Structure 1
């Protein structure tokens, strides 16, 4: 229990410190991943790990990378993508007008492979020109590091193995041994951070891909997210889930199109006629029969045993009885406020989607098994009835929302189910006990025979262990020999590195070495004195991004030539500002860095001050 409380404290800290809300994730897998990261930094206690996070800002990124398993690939689950490309996407495009925009949402996009897969599928169906004009793909995730990689759209050969050859040629460009998605099509894919649990959904979506994302959340959070996704999808829009995800308990929101491939359609709205009472009457005729009728109605509504809200047609809170005000902390100031601005709109359940469904269908909506964790009261179960209210002209004038507290009934049902399970278990145990007694005699007889053979097996095992011990000793000697060799090689490498560092330090010219991506790999002491930037600050940084007095932009063309031609060498004369802020005339020699077989590994800059 103490461990559970400490873990929840850690989750609250992550939410307050970095805005990541993991409280809706399944605890078993979440605890396992957090413990995995804590083991990597040799910390056992959750409180100590919070201290570690406070002292090391970089640890947040490592922890989030461990929790958010950004596993994805191009055309993952090929059978699903074959169905989408051959059936779903042509049907979706065919239903729309020739120039109507197509809005797609890829939720939980990770490093972008699935978003670009959607781009290729729609570009194949519409053609590149129509795709650029009509399609917008919104790709979202909570991991900023993954979104940064997705925006770059550059992937290794291993990451594009699953892309069919013709599509790879049409939609990717080779760049320094990597593959970059076409820049003209990339503009139609918009990446942004969105937390499915907390942030508002994107609206009017024709196709929403949320694959293998819901499975990380518990049932309550899944229901909340699905309500938001239902709100986001346009009428007749489609939802695509992962192979491990189902919507069997959410048939009121989505209906299956192809259950095997996990393709679902937003449940259609079928408004029913909402009419006045069968015998119309004039309320004024009855008003005189009962004294203070309006006051009586107000007190009767306010004294109702069930918490009840009444919303106007534009989803503004019009009425709230005493039970609702106490239960949800409402006051007279909240009357007239939009539902979306009130906490009751999303707690204990996301109400807006159900209210919208009741208004569209024109019939009551019943939401069952709604749980609300209230402290110190504990868990409360509700059954919510949402009823559209029609005026005398059959037009919709508002919506009534009643919260029926079914906690006592739910507890009784749980106790009854628990008692039935105990009776079934007791009966099964009695049956199995009888069978066990009948077999015990046979087992005792066979035990004697097994004990007789055990001694022989132990003797054989002892001989095998002696053989294994000899093999392990031999292996240990080999490992010791290899360790000695590695130690000698390490010493040689250290000597070579010391010698190279001595050479670079001894040179009076500023020496800078960059790799193929123009990231600094060497920065000697003369370069430090020239530009006032230490080697440990420059190493690993992109040369063209360094904020020093060297006009790096004028080196761009020479560097590109040096990276392309092993024999390239060029001398440039530049005006620069040294570390003291003084103007200097600089002579820069730019050449290729190549190995013994003339393969370019980077570029070398030699910088000298001209007299």
Structure 2
């Protein structure tokens, strides 16, 4: 992530009242002492993130915070993680990934031979989800075996912690929600509650540190994914990084950007394949300054170099190696003197079709090699080509057939060069004869060699066992680290739950105390029974009426209590309350109180409702007179 500052000059001078120079000094310290150059970031977002970390750590000024960074490596790590927000996911923005799967990758494969390598660069890969997403699509397109043989995915970032997580390649089930189940089962191996990317395909994904602003780009890239990174760049830094990314792409290479990024100001170097998906292709014949510096002829010239064409023609004509150049339609364009002398050609043959000349099939059939060079844009080397002219010794050649590609990646012709390897072949024959003489000595040494091979196999077996043990120890260490993280997370959750339960217990105690005080303060007798007629509530008023303590009454059947309450008259009221939630029955009964005196008692009975259902009956009892 790198960025720009768009504020006016007056707005750039201060950040929340502090001098701009104090903040710039902090950035220079990070660049010079830590190797991370954030000076190209957008100042608004960068200041906001640094401020956020300063507020968390309890510091007010940039000068004060700079002193802390100079003394604390841990605080620098915390700041670095705050600035670099590693937000990524598998197949993030699915429609764009569908376009890459259905159009970009098929086009890429169609432009290449079945055995040509495929190079992919995931720039700003964070914890690796994007690189592994690309690996899944390519493995689906070419098959796992061809993927292992042909595909290299270079995934880079500046955050070492994120790269460490990416190299491990283990993700939670929640992280894989965007991966279809059939692909998750095919490309991930479950273990210890996490999912690891397949080890045989993992070797094709290479993770490493690379700063897009400062480090050299990876070259000859067929597909470059750099999503949601360019939008943080200021204009100058963005141009510099785009030069590097443009240079990294092979001819007709594709760049895959994030949804918030555009290349409208760089249409001379990129053409849109799909604007909605933010997929662009390197424009034919486009070159950045970096490419011109590396690929064009030297810029510094000494003197006037006009009139080079005759000089080049003379150099070609007098070259020591027989050479023929044909155009894309098989017409002979150039023949040098050596080719004329050796193969009986002349300048009159220039302009004729190569297939009409004897050299097209003697000393070797050339036409198939020429068609292959033009179609596949690859050089071919034919060895051990024998040629014997009348009255002369046999000559051996190594024939080089090279396609001639213009700046638009079009095959405009083919160069055919004949390298004389007769001397080398004579030496080879002598070496072969010497080899035959050494065979007898070799047979004598073979027994000793077999013994050495046996010893070597035993050593190799021991080495393999040690490597296996080392891998198992490494795997165990990774599992223990994962388990430690999970235990730490569980411990934090338990602390949180414990605090919540403690707070809930306090609330329940307060509610229980309040309810007890409420029931005690009511001078009426308050009685609640459940549907089995067991006493649930027995307040102080009931104790005064009947002389039975609440701990004796609660949980006991109401009819089994030694009270003076006439159950024959009360039970019908309770029965109606069990049936009708809106019922409210009242009656006056004669009862015997705890002192043995007859009292006139007004009894009111209602349904006791919990969570919308009748769970019992509530009785209010008041002595009359």
- Structure with max Cα Rg: 2
Give the TM-score normalised by structure 2.
0.46
TM, length-normalised to structure 1: 0.47
